Amino acid sequence: MDKVRVGVIGAGAHANFAHYPSLASMRDVEIVAISDLNEERLNKTADKYGVIGRYKDFREMIDKERLDAVYIIVPPHQLYDLAIFCLKKRLNVFVEKPPGITYEQTRNMALTAKKYGCKTMVGFNRRFIPLMRKVRAIVEERGPIIQCAATFYKSMVGAWLPYYEGAVDILTCDAIHAVDTLRWMGGEVETVASLINQFYAEYNNSFNALIKFKGGTVGFLMTNWAVGKRIHTFEMHSRGISAFINPDDKAVIYADNCEEPIATITAAEAAGSQDRVKYYGFYDENRHFIDRIKEDKEPETNFEDAAKTMELINKIYNSQIR
């Protein structure tokens, strides 16, 4: 396969920020066609990237174009039917997080992909942030991660409803990034104890959990959407070593009880780029998907793996301390 022929469903803000520029920069990818209900947005994106195939009906695009893969970048509550349609056409599929709005949707997409032999991927970009991967490798040189943490804070005070007019809850729609990264650091989940609260809102906007992983790792989830500003950080700890990571800025690593860090690595240094598309993992997640298609291997964040993250979302909801 010299070039992976891609069709994209969706020409919104995130697709134009993260996915179109990543794919367009790859010599072994051809964006063959775009589908979007908004004709102005469709034409603006297609003109920018020189894409000839333009469709308002994604079904027409799938039927008429010869594609190797489809990107479906749409709101999560609109995703399921589109994904199933493409999988039944035996197309490899990339979707943004969350992969649907329930564990059952994600699981059923995974089963459909398996039945029709499709490669799949969910855009859990935090796993592909170069700084995160570099720091994890340094920490694990001392041994497996024994404790990890993910914090995600935002300010949505005064918002009447959460995402998409309330179609998707905060934990599933956005805080899932922290949940998935904990799984990436900790492994398979054993037990969960959680606290969920509503602060200055009539919907859940704070999710905190203690997670015990099967290998013995302890994980902490700390999120709150009723606080001062966006802060999103991670911790990784192993034998005699601790790393504190802000993927928007830098990681500081301490070891062996020394006051001075053994390493301070900026996000730009780890990625070799000041471009947020690259240092925040968006380019690398796209590169991973394309490479796995060419290698005929399952992507790391395939639908089956993503179902485990959605299952952990359920466990956080169902394991509240009373």
In a domain, 294, yes or no: no
Find out whether 28 and 3 touch, Cβ atoms under 8 Å.
yes
Paired strand residues for 207: 196, 223
Dihedral, 59, 46, 94, 16 alpha carbons, nearest 10? -140
Return the pLDDT at 288: 98
Model pLDDT for residues 24-75, shown as the tens digit of each residue? 999 999 999 999 999 999 999 999 999 999 999 999 999 999 999 999 999 9
Candidates 98, 96, 80; CA nearest to 88 is 80
Check which CATH number belongs to the domain holding 142 and give it.
3.30.360.10
In a domain, 85, yes or no: yes
The Cα diameter of the chain in Å comes to 63
Q: Which amino acid is at 9?
A: I
Check which CATH number belongs to the domain holding 71 and give it.
3.40.50.720
- Dihedral sign (CA 276, 278, 281, 283): positive
In a domain, 285, yes or no: no
The residue among 97, 124, 151 that closes a domain is: 124
Per-residue pLDDT band at 1 (split at 50, 70, 90): confident
197 & 234 share domain: yes
Return the pLDDT at 94: 99
21 & 112 share domain: yes
pLDDT (mean) for 239-246:
98
Provide the token pair at 220: 């902490």
In a domain, 176, yes or no: yes
The residue among 90, 109, 124 that closes a domain is: 124
Per-residue pLDDT band at 322 (split at 50, 70, 90): confident
Q: How many domains does the chain have?
A: 2
**pLDDT exceeds cutoff 90 at 90:** yes
149 & 234 share domain: yes
10 & 98 share domain: yes
Find out whether 148 and 185 touch, Cβ atoms under 8 Å.
yes
The pLDDT mean for the chain works out to 98
Residue with tokens 């639908």: 303
Per-residue pLDDT band at 274 (split at 50, 70, 90): very high
pLDDT (mean) for 20-24:
98
Dihedral, 151, 152, 158, 159 alpha carbons, nearest 10? -140
Find out whether 256 and 240 touch, Cβ atoms under 8 Å.
yes
Return the pLDDT at 251: 98
Query: DSSP string of 231-294?
Result: EEEEEEEETTEEEEEETTTEEEEEETT-SS-SEEEEHHHHHT-S-HHHHTTHHHHHHHHHHHHH
Return the pLDDT at 223: 98
In a domain, 200, yes or no: yes
In a domain, 298, yes or no: no
Domain that holds residue 188: 127-272+303-318
95 & 118 share domain: yes
CA–CA distance, 263 with 252 (Å, rounded to integer): 6
Please give the model's pTM, rounded to 2 decimal places: 0.97
The residue among 69, 97, 124 that closes a domain is: 124
CA–CA distance, 14 with 24 (Å, rounded to integer): 15
**pLDDT exceeds cutoff 90 at 281:** yes
Residue with tokens 């990264």: 181
182 & 255 share domain: yes
In a domain, 283, yes or no: no
213 & 266 share domain: yes
CA–CA distance, 47 with 41 (Å, rounded to integer): 10
**Whole-number percent of the chain with pLDDT over 90:** 99
161 & 267 share domain: yes
265 & 155 share domain: yes
Per-residue pLDDT band at 264 (split at 50, 70, 90): very high
93 & 213 share domain: no
Provide the token pair at 157: 């005070």
95 & 131 share domain: no
In a domain, 280, yes or no: no
166 & 312 share domain: yes
Model pLDDT for residues 117-140, shown as the tens digit of each residue? 999 999 999 999 999 999 999 999
